[in-house]
Amino acid sequence: MRINTFFYGLITITFLLVSCSKDEILEERTPESADIQQEVSSKALKQIGTGVMMQAFYWDVPAGGTWWNVVKGKVSGWSNAGIDAIWLPPVSKAMNGGLSMGYDPFDYYDFGEYNQMGSTETRFGSRSELTSLITTAHNNSLSVIADIVINHNSGGDSEANIFTNSNTYTDYNPLSGLFERTQYDFHPNDYHNNDSGVFGGFADMCHHKSYVQDWLWKKSNSVAKYYKNTMKFDGWRFDYVKGFEPWVPKEFRNAVGGFAVGEYWDGNVNTLKWWTDQAQMSAFDFGCYYKMRDAFMGNNLNALNGDMLWKRSPTRAVTFVANHDTDEIINNKILAYAYILTHEGYPAIFYRDYEHWLDKNKMNNLIWIHNNLAGGNTTNLWTDNDEYIARRNGGSGKNGLVVYINNSDSWQERWIQTNWSNKKIKDYTGHSGWEPTTQGGKWVKIQAPPKGYSVWSLK
């Protein structure tokens, strides 16, 4: 994640505030506009993971409350292209109001309807526009993934803090009237001084407090249940999960179900595997990301032989080439997409790559290849400095494929062994016009264009 706001300073006025814990306060309240309802399609949604995820935003998308409508206008085309889910930015009102990208959350129940933090709408639009977007996505069989930011908060008022003997910005009184917070809900407090990590100078939420757990996932109108049952979100992307223990997103997800993925920003695959096992959900495959960066920016495809989460746990790896926080693979980026869209894992594509920067026809072709051909486990067939060849062995109704990535400046050819005997194959990218027939021993010669790729399967 990335925050585009200022850090809160600590005011050194020391006096004692006597206050009671809110752990017993469990009153049920709903937003004034909770009666905003739109019909949600009964059309079956695509199963998340059977297609490709679209990250439906980038950092500093246009402000002015237009973004939900922009995305709404694209979901039909994305669904037709083979997208199965869209990941939205944080949807609730944040400290910087209409300017915020949402990663400095203030009121979890203000989706652009209360005049607070300097605006009524969020940067992305109003509550009615958000619900209309979600309905339209569902009508196009797309699941909608919410970005959940629960490590830290921003925008609280100053209060005398008995745990720091100073004033801290930890007094939260959102206009929704839901999930009010004080010093008892942040670190340090009467439970402990800290948890796994803090983000900058923001108020660090304490997930061990029963009051916090009630509002995040236990109560009938908790964040988890309200987002699932009222706002109709289908899945969860947990931001900055290094900041709290893996049981936290696990409990949140257990309360409401749905697909879930964590942003554990670490290239150490052992650590990623540990986290997915503990949290019992997917993680973004930063191991794969950094190996692709080394391969394509370092012009050495041998890096693709390195360890990645998808090689350890393919059903829990969300692979990606770029996102709103990091976009380092500049050279031959389409080759990186050819890699993740032909290999195991659940690939996510970045809005700007798809809509602005890369050839959309090539991206759609790779999405089709992923959805229709890329089945079964993976066998590496050849890797050197300039060439990489791998085979998907087929399964779940898919014939499998052979992908040939060529990072050199000239056409390359190689003999490789397929899973097909005496069968005609073709390059489904259209880059090669060859249609060779495999030998009885399943061997065949294939080719790939310079600074390009080819993907072969049964004709």
What's the Rg (C-alpha) of the chain? 24
Residues 245-288: pLDDT tens digits? 999 999 999 999 999 999 999 999 999 999 999 999 999 999 99
Please report, in range form, the residues annotated as the binding site: 151, 214, 386
Residue 29 scores a pLDDT above 80: no
- Domains of the chain plus CATH, in order, are 52-372 (3.20.20.80), 378-458 (2.60.40.1180)
User: Hey, is 262 helix, strand or coil?
Assistant: strand
Residues 68-107: pLDDT tens digits? 999 999 999 999 999 999 999 999 999 999 999 999 999 9
Which residue did the predictor score with more confidence, 201 or 413? 413
User: Hey, is 459 helix, strand or coil?
Assistant: coil
Q: Could you tell me where the DSSP H helices lie in 233-279?
A: 247-256, 269-279
Assigned token pair, 176: 């929704």
Q: Choosing from 234, 239, 285, 355, which is the catalytic residue?
A: 239
**Per-residue confidence at 28, pLDDT binned at 50, 70, 90?**
very low
Find the length of the chain: 459
- Of 440, 375, 433, nearest in space to 401 by CA: 375
Instruction: Tell me which amino acid residue 81 is.
Output: A
Please report, in range form, the residues annotated as the binding site for Ca(2+): 151, 214, 386
180 classed as catalytic: no
| 286: number of Cβ within 10 Å | 22
Q: Provide the terminal-to-terminal Cα distance of the chain, rounded to the nearest Å.
A: 43
Q: Where are the beta strands (DSSP E) in 341-420?
A: 346-350, 378-383, 387-392, 401-406, 412-417
263 classed as catalytic: yes
State the average pLDDT for the chain: 92
Angle at 221 between CA 256 and CA 131, to 5 degrees: 80
pLDDT confidence of residue 3:
57
pLDDT confidence of residue 31:
46
pLDDT confidence of residue 41:
46
pLDDT confidence of residue 80:
98
pLDDT confidence of residue 2:
61
Assigned token pair, 67: 């973004």
Q: Choosing from 263, 344, 355, 427, which is the catalytic residue?
A: 263
